[in-house]
A and B are shown apart, each in its own frame.
Chain A
Amino acid sequence: MLEKLITNKLTTNHLTYMSKIEQFSYDNTIVRKFAVATVIFGVVGMLVGLIAALQLIFPAMNMGMAETTFGRIRPLHTNAAIFAFVGNGIFAGVYYSLQRLLKTRMFSTALSNIHFWGWQTIIAAAAITLPLGITSAHEYAELEWPIDIAIALIWVVFGINMFGTILKRRENHLYVAIWFYIATWVTVTVLHIGNNLELPVNMWKSYGVFAGVQDALVQWWYGHNAVAFFLTTPYLGLMYYFIPKAANRPVYSYKLSIIHFWALIFIYIWAGPHHLLYTSLPDWAQSLGMVFSLMLIAPSWGGMLNGLLTLRGAWDRVRRDPVLKFMVVAVTAYGMATLEGPMLSIKSVNAISHYTDWTIGHVHIGTLGWNGFLTFGMLYYLIPKMYNTKLYSTKLADTHFWIGTLGILFYAVPLYWAGWTQSLMWKEFLPEGILKYGNFLETVTQILPMYALRALGGTLYLGSVFVMIYNLVKTAKQGDFISDEAAEAPAREVVAAHKGEHWHRWIERRPVQMLVFALVAILIGGMVEVFPMLLIDDNVPKIASVKPYTPLELEGRDLYIREGCLGCHSQMVRPFRSETERYGEYSKSGEFIYDRPFLWGSKRTGPDLHRVGGKYPHSWHYNHMLDPTSTSPGSIMPPYPWLLENDLNVSQTAAKIRTLQTLGTPYPTRYDEIAVEDLQKQANKIAESLKGEGIEQDGLEKKEIIAIIAYLQRLGTDINPGPQAGN
């Protein structure tokens, strides 16, 4: 071993044969902690996802509680899957590979532990606040500002620990996996700060600095890059480490990995606007997002092929080795998802796919296939290694593999089918020129069997994870855990740059320069896309008749956010005839200038609500919230009886008005002093009107339902379009 090391060094830089061999150890304890956490939170996240999936078939599965209703547990599921399951998986893999690639122990065991316990505390805070309806309504960034600050602090702790480790390394050059870790760290830092610029109203409520279309662009610049730089780049780093490790052969092309890295991080950051095609976002930004999304195929497939071709000549081992089996399917799923993503970003395809279950199917190929299977492959590699033993049962691992793969297929295929079916039903016209399925509900009940199959897929996948847990626990029990794995390597010779050296080789030795270069690469896209939206007034045309929300409507809007209504209802009528016929005038960017946050949504399990204002009487909304099936037989929307029971909390109304004034909403000076009075006047009017429509309830004017009705009745009514051409 020692001889091999010295020979390697001699043949590469001719300098280190005189170096002193140092003995040290790798910290496996922190890797095990994160590995256990990823398994536990994987089960929790998937279980919540399964409950949410079942609620779409059986709405009563919320057990009549607000905290367990779909709108609140959907963000719990996404946050648990992304930040708890995948997040802990990333840290387990990074802490294992970083030490070995740099031939040094982690910089600080204390920082490793602060990172671990801090991250788990944040997850616990999310698990408490999200079911309570404490949310900023930004998808995948729902957590409120105190938790955002905690995330930033713990992320910095991780950064210090990572860079500290890099600085005390014994290996001069940084392997490509570490570039991916560095790019992940710096980009997530930028994204997290950029998308969470908000002004607190109180401890658990804030309003964002950006509003409407600007907020939408910043959110999806973040949202898409959460996929890119949390679910993808760190996992690519893990792929570049663990596939060669498991296959016991070097990566197919190191040259390709360099191009893959720079191309991917530069292009990915531009792709966010593809989440906003045909919305009120200016056309130039949509086109930019689409073009860069299409370009993403090249680096993504370069990476996928590099991963798969690493196994050239070792395919026979894929049949036998569960680690490789999981990793092959993971990389294949990455390839499929990164082909599908750009396809979905083509505007004409997106016109069909957006707001449907196709998108949900697509993201689950990524999370279940790419992230999930790579994590499982990594765990099957790590646990036997760290416990100095062999895997307890290859057969059980194979069982996990096949049930899990079937689970992915049963999950995704029905959702693709559902997405196509529903979208085509939304768009189908009769020869007379009217919508064939004018009632939105028809297009929902049609796809319920697909939802049932999806839940079956989720059950299979989750069930297979329990097989893995049993197998890994038995593996751990039969081995002895090596908490500090002994290692030895020569001390690092710091080599000065020499004439004629390639710039890239120079960067590879210098982590700080690597960080700066990666930062520049990702900032360019953000700046060119986001800055013009924030700075050029023409991008957000103003509409004179659009006014800020009244205090009651504002409170209603915040209840809409609390209940997670945007998980199922969009507020964005796209400029298609099928949508203007169904919902009314298409949405204009000028209508959203007071929307903090924007609530355009990204999925229509229920109909769009942007033009729902004035469409139904107040009593319809009252009855609908009490029992959705009373107004819409067959509806899968859960009842919201607590809105009729809870008194509206107006203690923060004045503070909300003041915060919005600070952010630029033109309420009159000292309006906060009379805001609650105004709120009561409007509430009394609505309660009177309800009474006139036959709704009798004591103290009705003080209930939350009044605020929700006020908000819904205001939606989309600020503009008063004339008759449409051709109508």
Chain B
Amino acid sequence: MVNYSPLTIHPSPLINMFKHILASAGDINWMAIFALLTFFLLFVISGVTVFFKKKGFIDKMSNMPLDDATIEHKNNIA
């Protein structure tokens, strides 16, 4: 039967490639901090900008589905 070499795990070339890229980038804990900051910024910025949007613009956007520009005399619904 098979004789396996003990504990020689050979990761796939793709994973090796990722490992190499990230190893050269150093400590990857920055990713978690980056995610937290982005998350925080995303909510604050979208909240603030939404709050200050002009009423006219919001009204136009929210009415968009109601105006589909069809020509009613040609598409008369019975």
A binding-site residues for B, Cβ under 8 Å = 1, 4-5, 8, 11-12, 23, 26, 97, 100-101, 103, 170-171, 173, 175-177, 197, 209-210, 240-241, 244-245, 248-251, 253-255, 258-259, 262-263, 266, 384-385, 388-390, 479, 482, 485-489, 502-505, 508, 521, 524-525, 527-528, 531-532, 534-535, 542, 544, 547-548, 550, 593, 662-668, 671, 678, 681-682
Contacts and interface: CB of A to CB of B under 8 A. Distances in A.
A502 B62 CA distance: 17
26 contacts: A1-B72, A12-B60, A100-B68, A170-B69, A197-B14, A209-B12, A209-B14, A248-B66, A258-B50, A384-B77, A389-B78, A487-B68, A502-B49, A524-B38, A532-B31, A534-B15, A535-B15, A535-B18, A535-B22, A548-B2, A664-B11, A666-B4, A666-B5, A668-B2, A668-B5, A681-B1
Interface in B21-43: 22, 28, 31-32, 34-35, 38-39, 42-43
Contacts of A665: 10
A528 B5 CA distance: 33
Contacts of B75: 388, 482, 485-486
Given A263-B43, A664-B12, A489 B69 contact: yes
Given A245-B66, A504-B50, A681-B1, A531 B18 contact: yes
Contacts of B59: 250
Contact of B70 (A244, A250, A486, A532): A486
Contact of B61 (A11, A173, A385, A388): A173
B58 A524 contact: no
Contact of A505 (B31, B57, B63): B57
Nearest to A265: B42
A664 B2 contact: no
A482 B74 CA distance: 10
B12 to A, nearest CB: 5
Contacts of B63: 8, 250
A603 to B, nearest CB: 29
A521 B71 contact: no
B46 A262 contact: yes
Interface residues of B, number: 56
Given A1-B71, A524-B35, A544 B66 contact: no
A686 to B, nearest CB: 13
A-B pairs, top 8 by smallest CB distance, nearest first, are A100-B68, A250-B62, A664-B10, A254-B62, A486-B74, A489-B69, A175-B64, A487-B69
Nearest to B75: A485
A586 to B, nearest CB: 22
Identify the interface centre among B34, B39, B47, B76: most chain A CB within 10 Å of its CB: B39
Nearest to A284: B32
Given A1-B72, A550-B1, A666 B47 contact: no
Given A209-B14, A504-B50, A524-B35, A666 B65 contact: no
Contacts of A101: 64-65, 68
A228 B15 CA distance: 27
Nearest to A544: B7
Nearest to A663: B12
Nearest to A480: B78
B78 A255 contact: no
B34 A524 contact: yes
A11 B59 CA distance: 11
A218 to B, nearest CB: 11
B69 A244 contact: no
Contacts of B46: 258-259, 262-263, 504
A28 to B, nearest CB: 10
A392 to B, nearest CB: 12
A642 B74 CA distance: 63
Given A1-B71, A26-B70, A486-B75, A503 B45 contact: yes
A11 B63 CA distance: 13
Contacts of A532: 28, 31
B76 A388 contact: yes
Contacts of A527: 31, 35
Contact of A525 (B2, B35, B70, B78): B35
A255 B53 CA distance: 8
Nearest to B51: A255
B73 to A, nearest CB: 9
Contacts of B62: 244, 250-251, 253-254
Given A103-B69, A170-B69, A173-B64, 13 more contacts: A12-B57, A100-B65, A171-B64, A262-B43, A263-B46, A486-B70, A486-B75, A524-B39, A527-B35, A534-B19, A550-B2, A664-B11, A668-B5
A677 B42 CA distance: 60
A262 B2 CA distance: 54
A468 B49 CA distance: 44
A259 B22 contact: no
Nearest to A675: B2
A528 B35 contact: yes
Given A1-B71, A259-B50, A263-B43, A244 B35 contact: no
B66 A244 contact: yes
Contacts of A244: 62, 65-66
Contacts of A664: 9-12
B47 A535 contact: no
A666 B1 contact: no
B19 to A, nearest CB: 5
Identify the interface centre among B32, B38, B46: most chain A CB within 10 Å of its CB: B46
Nearest to A240: B65
A534 B18 contact: yes
Contacts of A176: 61
B35 A5 contact: no
A215 to B, nearest CB: 11
Nearest to B50: A255
Given A489-B69, A542-B7, A479 B49 contact: no
A64 B66 CA distance: 55
Nearest to A520: B38
Given A176-B61, A593-B9, A664-B9, A678 B66 contact: no
Contacts of A485: 70, 75
A175 B67 CA distance: 12
A250 B66 CA distance: 7
Contacts of B9: 542, 593, 664, 666
Given A531-B18, A663-B12, A487 B71 contact: yes
B35 to A, nearest CB: 5
Nearest to B63: A250
A175 B66 CA distance: 12
A535 B11 CA distance: 10
Contacts of A255: 50-51, 53, 58
Given A487-B68, A504-B49, A667 B31 contact: no
Nearest to B61: A254
A419 B34 CA distance: 40
B21 to A, nearest CB: 9
A12 B57 CA distance: 7
